[in-house]
Amino acid sequence: MRLGIISALHEEQAGLVEAMRGPSRLIHGMRDYVAGQLWEIDAVCVLSRIGKVAAAMTATTLVEKFGVTHILFTGVAGAGDKTVQVGDIVVAESLVQHDMDASPLFPRFEVPLTGQTHFQPDAPLSMRLVGAAQDFLELDFLDAVGEGERRAFGLARPRVHRGLVASGDQFVNDRLRLEAMNGALPGLVAVEMEGAAVAQVCHELGVPCAVIRAISDNANENAAPDFMRFVKSIAAQYAFHITRRLCRDLKEAPLQPRSDSAGT
């Protein structure tokens, strides 16, 4: 396997490139791709920057130019529901582009001419990710996130959620807007700006992907400062330890090849 690891921002992936064995760097399409071994897994790390186009471009390049066989998106998101709290972790079960609306030509949220509103990440890879996230919370969390930060962010007992992740070219910082999204998208657990674009690219190219997000804010009026604080001091710890656990698990028990390769 060759694992492509995408995050939007440096702070969401800090430490991974430094942990790489034998890193080699290549600039392509105004992005730095760093290939090497992460805990004995062949990997390519890259920052996509923010938004769906940036993420789609990055995912496509990882597959077409760097030959990755799987893609992991790791970063932060706003809570999509009241049961989801800052510090919790969301592993996408399904992804939708919440700003896609070509109605009345096509149903709202449908990506025109695909017949799909929702894109599914790879179930086996996502299950491994859930395991890595749960182990992180149980075994690493108290050491990785200092007491001061846990107190400042009110992180008591963070949990792992699975559910619908909605992506759009919009930072959601409005309670009413989030409520409207909740009404239109049942099962919503997180809002962010890249995951569904990566999921669509991976679906079309037949490459398994998974999306994990640490919740940085409540997508309300306080979202921007909450997001900035979380990204600065906590996000990298989540990404580093969860990716470390995932890579070790994948090394110990490799994923079975998929039989339904849809791409090419």
Catalytic residue chosen out of the listed positions 11, 88, 217, 249: 217
Closest approach of ligand ADE to the CB of residue 173, in Å: 6
Contacts of 131-137 with C-beta under 8 Å, sequence gap 24+, read: 131/245, 131/249, 132/242, 132/243, 132/245, 132/246, 132/249, 133/89, 133/91, 133/160, 133/212, 133/242, 134/160, 135/245, 136/89, 136/238, 136/241, 136/242, 136/245, 137/89
Return the half-sphere exposure (C-beta side, CA atoms, 13 A cut-off) of residue 214.
Answer: 33
String marking each residue 156-185 x if it binds ligand ADE according to CB under 6 A:
---------------xxx------------
Can residue 216 be called a binding residue for ligand ADE (CB under 6 A)? Answer: yes
Q: Which of 188, 191, 199, 207 binds ligand ADE (CB under 6 A)?
A: 191
Instruction: Write out the two tokens for 187.
Output: 């099962």
Q: Tell me if 193 contacts ligand ADE by CB under 6 A.
A: yes
> Rounded to the nearest whole angstrom, what is the least distance from the CB of residue 220 to ligand ADE in the complex?
8
Interaction of residue 219 with ligand ADE, rule CB under 6 A:
yes
Q: Is 217 in the site for ligand ADE (CB under 6 A)?
A: yes
Binding residue count for ligand ADE, defined by CB under 6 A:
14
| Helix (H) or strand (E) run with residue 73 in it | strand 70-79
Q: For residues 51 and 63, give the distance between their C-alpha atoms in angstroms, rounded to a whole number.
A: 19
Among 38, 45, 72, 76, binds ligand ADE (CB under 6 A): 76
Residue at shortest CB range from ligand ADE = 78
User: In this structure, which amino acid lies at residue 248?
Assistant: R
Whether 64 is catalytic: no
How far from the centroid of its chain's Cα atoms is residue 145's Cα?
Answer: 20
| Cα–Cα distance for residue pair 185/87, rounded to 1 Å | 23
Q: For residues 12 and 249, which CB has a smaller minimum distance to ligand ADE in the complex?
A: 12
Q: How far is the CB of 1 from ligand ADE (least distance, A)?
A: 28
Least distance CB 214 / ligand ADE (angstroms)? 9
174 catalytic per annotation: no
The two structure tokens encoding residue 172: 């959601």
Whether residue 109 contacts residue 98, with contact meaning beta carbons closer than 8 Å, is answered with yes
Residues that bind ligand ADE (CB under 6 A): 76-78, 171-173, 191-193, 216-217, 219, 223, 227
> Which residues are part of the catalytic machinery?
12, 217
